[in-house]
Amino acid sequence: MSTAMPGVRGWSEEEMARRLALDIPDGAYVNLGIGLPELVARYVPAGREVVYHVENGLLGMGPPPPEGHEDPDLINAGKKAVTAIPGAAFFHHADSFAMIRGGHIDLCVLGAMQVASNGDLANWTTGEPGSIPAVGGAMDLVAGVRAVCVLMQHTTRGGQAKILERCTYPLTGRRSVNRIYTNLAVLEVTPHGLRVVDLAPGVTIEDVRQATDAPVMPADA
């Protein structure tokens, strides 16, 4: 199993979210997963319109409110306070999932425990005794959304690779991930394997390869 190189840090979590936001097309309808993906809502590039969808029934989610201005009735799927942009719509939970399952969401951003080089995603349980499964809407999202991006740290806290030749945890979806955004790099899932799209400042492709348990191709491959 590959491990991260000591001293190689790359992007912070906020910088990772900002880097991903740069790649979201103007006018896209986007679902953000719980946890790290929620940060993406803060970094819509100036002059670009992105409409964020929340599976508990909101289309037009804005960034988190200032401290002390939270509305307990306005939360995202992770039960965190959010805001609503002008023109936002509220609707039934079932209608929200009909949007997902009907292919009406352009892109979703999810966290992950593991991603395979062919785009397989594992993000709901380790499968170990005593683990608490938490699939949420992820299985619907990877099946119904047009493009899936993963936002996560490149390795575990112990330095073990989270990007593998093959996932060892139970899968959320097969061949569902299009791009992976980590603190070290942006990787695209291609029919021939993982290809570097971008590297964090101070990070080399050799750093990425050492922290990845799957082959990684250079950008010009």
pLDDT in tens, 119-148: 999 999 887 776 766 777 899 999 999 999
Q: Hey, what amino acid is at 61?
A: M
Instruction: Please give the average per-residue pLDDT across 80-86, as a whole number.
Output: 93
Q: Are 4 and 46 in contact (CB under 8 A)?
A: no
User: Which has the higher per-residue pLDDT, 121 or 34?
Assistant: 121
Q: Taking the domains of the chain in order of start, what are their residue ranges?
A: 13-55+95-217
Phi, psi dihedral angles at 20 (to 5 degrees): -65, -40
pLDDT confidence of residue 156: 96
CATH 3.40.1080.10 fits 13-55+95-217, yes or no: yes
Close Cβ partners of 78 (under 8 Å, ≥ 6 residues apart): 34, 35, 38
pLDDT exceeds cutoff 90 at 1 = no
- CA 121/CA 113 separation, integer angstroms: 8
Q: Are 57 and 75 in contact (CB under 8 A)?
A: no
pLDDT confidence of residue 6: 61
| Catalytic residue list | 55
Q: Which pTM was predicted?
A: 0.92
